[in-house]
Amino acid sequence: MLKKEAKKITGGLSKPSKMPGPAYNLPASQCITGAKLVNVEGSTCSGCYALKGRYKFKNTLIAMARRLAKLHDPRWIDAMVTLINGRHWQKPKPVFRWHDSGDIQSAKHLTNIFEVCKRTPATAHWLPTREARFINLMDPDVVPKNLKIVLSDHMNNQRVTPTWWPYTSGVTTEPKQVSCPSSKQGNKCLDCRKCWDRRTKRVIYGKH
């Protein structure tokens, strides 16, 4: 499959300036759980970054809506693999983030992501989510080894976190609790790979 065709089928990838690699996003307004939490004071979705700033640019909104509409295309998996693996003379993307905006839409969406990860073994994938409904009956051992699914806290400064899933993340308003280094290095990941590394069980981000 040609890259041009793959972009048309999937809606293309996104390129967050913070990330050390490409990403894929959907409209934050279409998050299932996040759309409820955004109206809850003190939640991690309150003041959501993906509902403001560059995410409100017309071209960005159009691109995200296009990606959402393409999720059910039967060629979606093949197309995503093409974009992530690159062509035969290109190196596969070393790291990939799922949903710098938006979240899992269905169980089928998640199993499709699994298949993409299996077929891009040279890439480390990171998938943060608040959609526990799609993973709470899942054995972590069935998740592709190159994919780290991180269950995100619902509330800022949350002290009690789920114990049934091995990888979690939180948001804090207390600077000393932050374990993500990006705020000290120009809001960029640079060499840090905690979010992709399965040896890191929990990451705490500063509220932004």
pLDDT digits (tens, 9 = 90+) for 85-136: 976 546 678 999 999 999 999 999 999 999 999 999 999 999 999 999 999 8
High-pLDDT (> 90) share of the chain, %: 78
Angle subtended at Cα 43 by Cα 38 and Cα 174, rounded to the nearest 5 degrees: 140
Angle subtended at Cα 112 by Cα 138 and Cα 13, rounded to the nearest 5 degrees: 125
Nearest to 7 by CA among 17, 22, 19, 20: 22
| Three-state DSSP string of 80-133 | HHHHHHCCCCCCCCCEEEECCCCCCCCHHHHHHHHHHHHCCCCCEEEEEECCHH
Residue 166 neighbours by CB under 8 Å, 6+ apart: 140, 201
Please give the Cα distance from 54 to 154 (Å, whole number): 24
pLDDT digits (tens, 9 = 90+) for 134-180: 998 778 888 999 999 999 999 999 988 888 999 999 999 999 999 99
Please give the Cα distance from 77 to 179 (Å, whole number): 34
Please give the Cα distance from 157 to 43 (Å, whole number): 9
Residue 102: CB atoms within 10 Å? 21
Where do runs of H (alpha helix) occur along the chain? Answer: 3-10, 34-37, 58-69, 76-85, 107-118
| pLDDT recorded at residue 89 | 47
Total residues found in the chain within this entry: 208
